[in-house]
Amino acid sequence: MLNAEINEIGQFIPLHYHYQMLSDASRMTAFKSAIEKIVTPKHRVAELGSGTGVLSSFAAKKGAQVWSVEFNPALVSASRRFISENGLSHKVHISQGDATNWLPPEPVDLVICEMLHSALLREKQLHVVSAFRDAHLARFGVAPRILPNATLLGVQPVNQCYDFNGYFAPVPLFQSPYYTAEDCSPCSDPVVYKVIDYDNAHVETFEAEVAFQFKNDSNVNALRFITKSLLTMDAYTGQTIDWHSQYLILPLCKAFEMKAGQEMRVKFKYRPGEPIETLNNAIVIETAEQKQDKDKFSMIA
C-alpha cells in the first residue's frame, strides 16, 4: 500500500509493536476498568481497530456480544487465534476492513476505539468514530455510546534536553505522562487548544492561537503536546476514568530566552490524522521582541 493511501485510511500498527500496547499498564488498566464499568451481559459492542483483540476480550468477558474490525490482515488472523485461545470465539467476531466504512450486522450499545495517537495525529480516531456514529445512526436510527467520550488537547512550552552523549540532536520525541521526565522542564502552565466530544465531533482543522505568560526566566526550545481522553464518566458520582496518550515533544528550530512577565504567542493548525511533521511545520512563535520578525519553524529532519 502506498504511503498516501495509508495516510488516507489510518495507521496500521504491525503485530510486533502491540507488545508495547499490551504491556502499557496505565493504558490497559484504564480501558479495562472503563469497559468493565459500562458493559453488561445484555450489551452489544463494536470495536474499531481491534489489533490483538484485547479490548474486545474485556467486553466479551463481561458477557457482551462483540463485533470488531481491524484493517491489518496479519493482525486479523493473529487476533482470531488469540480470541480462540482465550475461549471467546463464541463472543467476538473479527472482520477485516476499514473502520471508516464498516458496520456490524446489528445495532450496538457501545463502540470502543483506541486510535488515540498523541495530539490525535497519525491515527484516524476522529475519522473512524464520527463515520461509524453517523452511519450507525442512519442505518439503525440510534447512536451508540462511545468509549472514549472525549479527548482534550493541550500545549505547553518546555525546555527539553537534546544532548545525547555530547551530541546535540533536537528530534521529536515521546514521553510518558505517568513519570516525571528528568530531562524536560515545563516553562509555563499548559493551555487547552481543543476539546473533542465524540458524540458530536466531526473531522475539522484544529486551529490554535494561544498565549503563555512566563513567571520565571525560561529557555524555551520545545512544545509539549498533551492528549488526555475521558474514557467514561460515572452517571451518579461524576467520577471519570481517564487515559493520557504519550506526550509529544516537538523541538523548535531555536531556543527562546523568555524573561519573567513576558508573553509568547504560539499558533499552529493541522488536521487530525496528519503526520507529526505537519504539526511541527505549522508552528509559529511570536514574542514581543520578535513581532517584526515572525519566525516560522520547520522540523529538523
Binding ligand SAM (rule: CB under 6 A), the pick from 30, 35, 46, 55 is: 55
Q: Quick one: 6 or 288, whose CB is closer to ligand SAM? A: 6
Position 244 contacts ligand SAM (CB under 6 A): no
CB of 6 or CB of 169, closer to ligand SAM? 6
b (16+ CB within 10 A) / e for 138-162: eeeeebbbbbbbbbbbbbbbbbbeb
Interaction between residue 71 and ligand SAM (CB under 6 A): yes
Q: How far is the CB of 45 from ligand SAM (least distance, A)?
A: 12
- Closer residue to ligand SAM, CB minimum distance, 100 or 160: 100
Give phi and psi for 298, each to the nearest 5.
Answer: -125, 160
Q: Are 27 and 52 in contact (CB under 8 A)?
A: no
Residue found by looking up cell 495507521 in the block: 11
Tell me how far, at minimum, the Cβ of 11 lies from ligand SAM, in Å: 6
Question: Binding residue for ligand SAM (CB under 6 A) from 34, 69, 92, 223?
Answer: 69
Classified as helix, coil or strand, 117 is coil
Cα–Cα distance for residue pair 79/15, rounded to 1 Å: 10
Q: How many CA atoms lie within 13 A of 246 on its CB side?
A: 16
**Residue 250 engages ligand SAM in binding (rule: CB under 6 A):** no
282/62 Cα distance (integer angstroms): 45
CB of 114 to ligand SAM, least distance (A): 4
- Between 26 and 213, name the residue whose CB sits nearer to ligand SAM: 26
Rg of the chain in Å (alpha carbons): 21
Residue type at 123? E
- Considering only 7, 8, 11, 78, the residue that binds ligand SAM (CB under 6 A) is 11
Q: Quick check: 174 binds ligand SAM (CB under 6 A)?
A: no
Interface residue with ligand SAM among 62, 70, 227, 248 (CB under 6 A) is: 70
Least Å from the CB of residue 134 to ligand SAM: 15
- Could you tell me the sign of the dihedral formed by the alpha carbons of 44, 50, 55, 56, in that order? positive
Scanning residues 82 to 141, which ones bind ligand SAM (CB under 6 A)? Answer: 98-100, 114-115, 124, 128
Report in angstroms how near the CB of residue 35 gets to ligand SAM at its nearest: 10
Apex 265 CA angle, 218 and 214, nearest 5 = 30
- Grid coordinates of 132: 461509524
| Residues 174, 247 contacting (CB under 8 angstroms) | yes
The C-alpha cell of 218 is what? 525560561
Q: How far is the CB of 120 from ligand SAM (least distance, A)?
A: 12
Among 59, 64, 75, 146, binds ligand SAM (CB under 6 A): 75
**What's the distance, Cα to Cα, between the start and end of the chain in Å?**
24
| Minimal distance, residue 82 CB to ligand SAM, in Å | 11
Stretch in the footprint of ligand SAM (CB under 6 A) among 45-53, 171-179, 187-195, 290-298: 45-53
Tell me the closest approach of the beta carbon of residue 75 to ligand SAM, in angstroms: 5
Q: What is the largest CA-CA distance in the chain?
A: 66
Binding site for ligand SAM (CB under 6 A): 9-13, 21, 49-52, 54-55, 69-72, 75, 98-100, 114-115, 124, 128
